[in-house]
Amino acid sequence: MNYGKKSVSRKRNSLISRTAMMGKRAHVSFIRVLFAVLITICVVVGCVGIGAFRGIIDNAPDVNDIDISPLGYATFLYDGDGNQLRKLTAPSSNRLPVSIDQIPVDLQHAVVAIEDERFYEHNGIDVRGILRAFVKNITSGNLSEGASTITQQLLKNNVFTNWTKESTWLERFTRKIQEQYLAVEVEKKINNKDVILENYLNTINLGAGTYGVQAAARKYFNKDVWDLNLSESATLAGITQNPTQFNPIEHPEENAKRRKEVLDHMIAQGYITQAQYDEVLNDDVYSRIQAAQIENSETENTVYSYFEDELIDQVINDLMNIKGYTRTQAQNLVYSGGLSIYTTQDSAIQKILDEEYADPSNYPDYVQYALDYALTVKNPQGEEVNYSKEMLELYFQNEDPEFDLLFDSQEEGQSYVDRYKESILADGSTVVAERVSFAPQPQSSMSVIDQHTGYVKAIIGGRGEKTASLTLNRATDTTRQPGSTFKILSTYAPALNEKGMTLATTFEDEPYNYPDGSPVNNASRSYNGTTTIRKAIQNSINVVAVKCLEEVTPELGLQYLDNFGFTTLAHGTEADRDADGTVWTDANLPLALGGLTNGVTNIELCAAYAAIANSGNYIEPLYYTKILDHNGNVLIEKTSAGRSVIKESTAWLLTSAMEDVVTQGTGTACQLDNMTVAGKTGTTDAYNDLWFVGYTPYYTCAVWSGFDNNEKLPEDARNFHKNLWKKVMTRIHEGLPDKDFDMPASVEKLSVCAETGLLPRAGCPIITEYFDIGDVPTDECDQHFYGYSDYDNSDMTEHTTEEGIYNSDGTQTDNTDDNTGDNTGDNTGDNTGDNTGDNTGDNTGDNTDNTGDNTGGDDGGDNGGDNGDNTGGDDGGDSSGGDAEE
Ligand SMILES: [Zn+2]
């Protein structure tokens, strides 16, 4: 057939010349006129027909643009060591490509025999098949479609996928013409039957969610396609005509009938012998299929992990933002693009988190269950109505105002669900859909990052069984108040980094108010007087943090937080306007204590601390390193390139102070026997959120605990997060050489006055502290008395290295006067004697509580009693301090 432009224009020309000729003839007979008219009509109709045909062909896709290879391939996730973590598939992409030489010849023959017996001879369309189908259709009056060759089916499946929606006869006709035309063109262009058959066998729908012969072989027989025998091949070949009806798992009898047809065709076409035929018919292939299903179901976990959930989110966002895909395109790529995604997950570390989070002994004994509920019913009027957990809560609050969605057992919660549902269904409504789930409480989340690379090694988004994919992820999605973990990031980092302050810089820890008059409460409800930044970090003193941020300014603090990678902060822009029209900003003094508009996610808090652990360089948390496309080309590659947020010296100084947090401050519960640790605790004012973020020279780990509904954590539930941190990090570091955080050359050690942080002069109490070489104090202390009569310098030096004698209650100078004289030389045990007069009463009783934690220090005057609670180990402060932040 030739539908080229030349032949059409030739026919058009002949039509024109004919009509012209007719006009010239004057005397023509009626018969001749009629004849001419008839011919004209025939020609016109023919031309129009040819023209229409041309149009159909012209509208067909260009054969050079056609890619007959299938589109939907499974995507694979690999862990940091290259082990396969998971196969991601969309409903139509559970496809594992194989080459034709991997596909058994018996399977090739079986498919050809049943689907397209003249496949190896025809040129893309089967003229004999079309004619036979045409005759059959005419005689039967049934206008079903005629024979479709393998080449045509391949085009239908991979190129004309949107043609399944055609409705009219004309559309069907048009499509059929184009399909046949292109089938011929494709065969001409490719000129290789094996290539066409290979693509076809990788494309076909073989039921049970499998596409292509390899996926089907894995699914039905739990083996590779190259291991299939004739019997199994015939089984697969029998499916393709109707993948639901001939699914050999669900309908073995139907498949068996079809399989026999396949074998009939094969023997008739000479592909197999009678002996083979008989043997296969006697083979009980279906019990093998059933057995394979049991094996499959044991190995297949269809619920994605929290890491995988977040990874998929990230990959889709990156494909949109970096590669410019639409969301739909990106999703299609992820689930059916045949990508290879190399993740940063460390399977060994993830396993440790999984195991510890699954261990009930790591949680408070008293477990409660938070209900998540949704119900859709059809009411008697036929309308669908939705009910939520909030509506259920309101319903029961009518009878009990204290009612909430926390239950002592799932059974108790279920009984309320049942009662609620009963009340809804009382009018004859019927259930359309219902979702009931219970999450154990209090909850917790954890993330682990390798600070040197930014690789997210493991995350866990909650305790309790994960029952579905893409569920609430408390490590990456939920924002919670960070409490005192923010002191380091919002306040002390900028203070040390660019405000000329040092760890020896002192502030008065004393009763203090915010500008609006509300008090800044210390967790201990007590005050320690002159306090260095190092001590304020160690013991998490709120007053000092707030005073320090006043000097730093909240605006600068917020800028540092942005640089530390937080994306959930409020900046007072239009984006921060709430429904009531209020525009929120976090550039306020409570920022020092982590009082935020929206809170932060666990992973971002972890990444910010990882920046300190990484010498001040922030690296965006990475969930994967590269994505390869279906052909193995790099689609996206991630690097660990970071940005410097704070100087190396600042990072090390903060680390040094946070080592004190763990050795003698609020974080002693997170000491590791096998590794050096620096870290910071965080508690919000009403114990809604508890944190510990810490790092070793190897890894950074953030743990959060709290109730999903933001309830206050009971007293016995305020430490389990630290225990989880310690257990997980101990196991992660097993076998790793213990080492210290390397002090950079830009830091030096110096003795300074403990009260002023300036160069000491005779009479100054002295501490040793580390400084950035650019921030070494140059001024001498001007606050102490010199030449005091019974002052003994050497004694003093020894004494003051304990750095705690300075007392606090308000009037510093007076106090110093008294104390220096009296306390000289003796610190422990001598307080009663020497301090008598002013101090006896308070000290004797209360100081016994202080042993150890107060390091002979803070004792002097009026503070004694309170201090027992304050610095006494890591929890004393937390539990007794009322509702102040720690
Ligand atoms: Zn001094």
Q: Which residue has the higher pLDDT, 702 or 816?
A: 702
CA of 780 to the centre of ligand 1 (A): 8
Q: Which residue has the higher pLDDT, 188 or 823?
A: 188
CA of 782 to the centre of ligand 1 (A): 6
Q: Which residue has the higher pLDDT, 542 or 817?
A: 542
CA of 520 to the centre of ligand 1 (A): 28
CA of 643 to the centre of ligand 1 (A): 38
CA of 770 to the centre of ligand 1 (A): 17
Q: Which residue has the higher pLDDT, 472 or 68?
A: 472
pLDDT, residue 797, reads 35
Token duo for residue 861 = 């005057």
CA of 507 to the centre of ligand 1 (A): 14
For the cut 60, the answer to whether the pLDDT of residue 833 exceeds it is no
CA of 225 to the centre of ligand 1 (A): 83
CA of 796 to the centre of ligand 1 (A): 12
- 94-to-77, 202, 214, 424, 632 alpha-carbon distances in Å: 14, 10, 10, 41, 18
Residues with Cβ < 8 Å from 521, sequence gap 6 or more? Answer: 542, 685, 881, 882, 883, 884, 885
The DSSP secondary structure of 759-777, one letter per residue, reads B--TT--EEEEEEETTS--
pLDDT, residue 138, reads 66
pLDDT, residue 545, reads 98
CA of 646 to the centre of ligand 1 (A): 29
pLDDT band at 469 (very low <50, low <70, confident <90, very high): confident
pLDDT band at 655 (very low <50, low <70, confident <90, very high): very high
pLDDT band at 146 (very low <50, low <70, confident <90, very high): low
Residues with Cβ < 8 Å from 355, sequence gap 6 or more? Answer: none
| Rounded average pLDDT over 50-69 | 69
CA of 756 to the centre of ligand 1 (A): 6
CA of 762 to the centre of ligand 1 (A): 8
CA of 771 to the centre of ligand 1 (A): 17
Phi-psi region of 472 (alpha: psi -120 to 50; beta: other; left: phi over 0): beta
pLDDT, residue 824, reads 32
Token duo for residue 769 = 């502290």
| Phi and psi torsions of 700, nearest 5° | -115, 135
CA of 783 to the centre of ligand 1 (A): 5
CA of 765 to the centre of ligand 1 (A): 6
CA of 540 to the centre of ligand 1 (A): 24
CA of 781 to the centre of ligand 1 (A): 5
CA of 829 to the centre of ligand 1 (A): 25
Which residues keep their CB under 5 angstroms from ion ligand 1? 753, 756, 764, 781, 784
pLDDT band at 336 (very low <50, low <70, confident <90, very high): confident
CA of 808 to the centre of ligand 1 (A): 15
CA of 860 to the centre of ligand 1 (A): 18
**Residue among 336, 344, 342, 408 nearest 370 (CA):** 408
CA of 834 to the centre of ligand 1 (A): 23
CA of 533 to the centre of ligand 1 (A): 16
Per-residue model confidence as pLDDT tens digits over 589-605: 999 999 999 999 999 99
| Rounded average pLDDT over 27-39 | 67
CA of 759 to the centre of ligand 1 (A): 8
For the cut 60, the answer to whether the pLDDT of residue 390 exceeds it is yes
* Percent of the chain's residues with pLDDT above 90: 57
CA of 784 to the centre of ligand 1 (A): 5
| Rounded average pLDDT over 542-552 | 98
Per-residue model confidence as pLDDT tens digits over 771-818: 999 999 999 998 886 544 344 443 333 333 333 333 333 333 333 333
| Cα–Cα distance measured from residue 783 to residue 781, given in angstroms and rounded to the nearest whole number | 6
CA of 755 to the centre of ligand 1 (A): 6
User: Which amino acid makes up residue 108?
Assistant: Q
CA of 766 to the centre of ligand 1 (A): 8
CA of 538 to the centre of ligand 1 (A): 22
| Phi and psi torsions of 747, nearest 5° | -120, 140
Q: What is the mean pLDDT of the chain?
A: 82
pLDDT, residue 160, reads 67
pLDDT, residue 785, reads 64
| Domain spans of the chain, in order of start | 5-59, 94-299, 367-441, 747-880
CA of 95 to the centre of ligand 1 (A): 76
CA of 696 to the centre of ligand 1 (A): 35
Q: Which residue has the higher pLDDT, 255 or 876?
A: 255
CA of 164 to the centre of ligand 1 (A): 87
CA of 785 to the centre of ligand 1 (A): 9
CATH topology of domain 94-299: Penicillin binding protein transpeptidase fold (1.10.3810)
For the cut 90, the answer to whether the pLDDT of residue 862 exceeds it is no
CA of 267 to the centre of ligand 1 (A): 104
CA of 489 to the centre of ligand 1 (A): 29
CA of 787 to the centre of ligand 1 (A): 14
CA of 857 to the centre of ligand 1 (A): 17
CA of 754 to the centre of ligand 1 (A): 7
pLDDT band at 300 (very low <50, low <70, confident <90, very high): low
> Which of the residue ranges 150-154, 398-402, 746-750 has the most confident prediction, judged by mean pLDDT?
746-750
> Which of the residue ranges 46-60, 66-80, 327-341 has the most confident prediction, judged by mean pLDDT?
327-341
For the cut 50, the answer to whether the pLDDT of residue 269 exceeds it is yes
| Cα–Cα distance measured from residue 112 to residue 758, given in angstroms and rounded to the nearest whole number | 91
Q: Which residue has the higher pLDDT, 8 or 165?
A: 165
CA of 772 to the centre of ligand 1 (A): 20
- 821-to-608, 703, 814, 817 alpha-carbon distances in Å: 46, 47, 11, 7
| Rounded average pLDDT over 375-391 | 91
Per-residue model confidence as pLDDT tens digits over 198-226: 989 988 888 887 888 998 998 899 889 99
pLDDT, residue 857, reads 32
**Residue among 445, 450, 395, 441 nearest 421 (CA):** 395
pLDDT, residue 744, reads 97
pLDDT, residue 884, reads 41
CA of 809 to the centre of ligand 1 (A): 18
CA of 757 to the centre of ligand 1 (A): 8
For the cut 60, the answer to whether the pLDDT of residue 678 exceeds it is yes
| Cα–Cα distance measured from residue 511 to residue 528, given in angstroms and rounded to the nearest whole number | 10
CA of 218 to the centre of ligand 1 (A): 78
Per-residue model confidence as pLDDT tens digits over 61-77: 676 666 666 666 778 88
